[in-house]
Amino acid sequence: MVEKFHAELKALKKEVLEMGELAKNMLQKSVESLKNQDTELADWVLSKKRGIMDMDDDIEQRALTLLTLYQPMAKDMRTIACILKMITYLTRIGRYGKDIANVAKELSTHPHIAKLVSIPYMCNIVCGMIEDTLKAFETEDLSLIQDFAERDDNLDTLRYSIFRECLTYMMEDQKNITRCAHYMMIARYLERCGDHACKIAEKIHFMVTGERIEVK
């Protein structure tokens, strides 16, 4: 009975990692499609919306089934609790990727302003955080998430820097208003994705140690 539970939990964790990889790819490729004005890549991101929602539903159902059938305790219980939180945050990250892909399609025929300001760089930081949470979840190596507060502060700084820079371009020429408004919103999306990565890190820390922390 115990062996069967742990085998099913291991399989569930694998599916969470696959979901996390999909969420990260949706975000990463949405910004790439924006940068390169690649509408086909944006369509790929949009096509994954249903898939990530289905994964959310499936993992949740399987996690609840494990709770009902086996009534796990201690770390096993914390692991399932972590999974139930993670899939919510990962779904939101994927949805932000979908939103950015829609913007990429809208702006695909318009030249970029200032090479998209710092949006691609900001995206790289966020995707790195998501990657590290997934590795920490898989390996239980908490050193991977130790500097998340610093990385989150960096994202906040970049968001406000993009906001100020975009305001400047908007005041210089009203033709820049629509594009810059989108840039500012995307920077906000990326900041929120960083916040979600921080929340995932907190849940992983609790899963491993039984101690609650606040990353940001």
| Domains of the chain listed by start with CATH number | 2-209 (1.20.58.220)
Cβ count within 10 A of residue 161: 14
pLDDT in tens, 140-149: 999 999 999 9
Asked if residues 117 and 165 have their Cβ atoms less than 8 Å apart, the reply is yes
| Amino acid of residue 39 | T
Question: Which residues, other chains included, contact 198 with Cβ-Cβ below 8 Å and sequence gap of 6+?
Answer: 129, 148, 149, 152, 215, 216
Query: Is 0.85 surpassed by the pTM of this model?
Result: yes
Rounded distance between C-alpha atoms, residue 145 and residue 147, angstroms: 6
pLDDT in tens, 193-204: 999 999 999 999
195: three-class secondary structure by DSSP? helix
The pLDDT value recorded for residue 2 is: 83
| Amino acid of residue 14 | K
Confidence of residue 215 (pLDDT cuts 50, 70, 90): confident
pLDDT in tens, 42-97: 999 999 999 999 999 999 999 999 999 999 999 999 999 999 999 999 999 999 99
pLDDT at 216 over 80: no
The pLDDT value recorded for residue 192 is: 98
| Amino acid of residue 29 | K
* Alpha helices for 71-176 (secondary structure H): 74-106, 119-139, 148-172
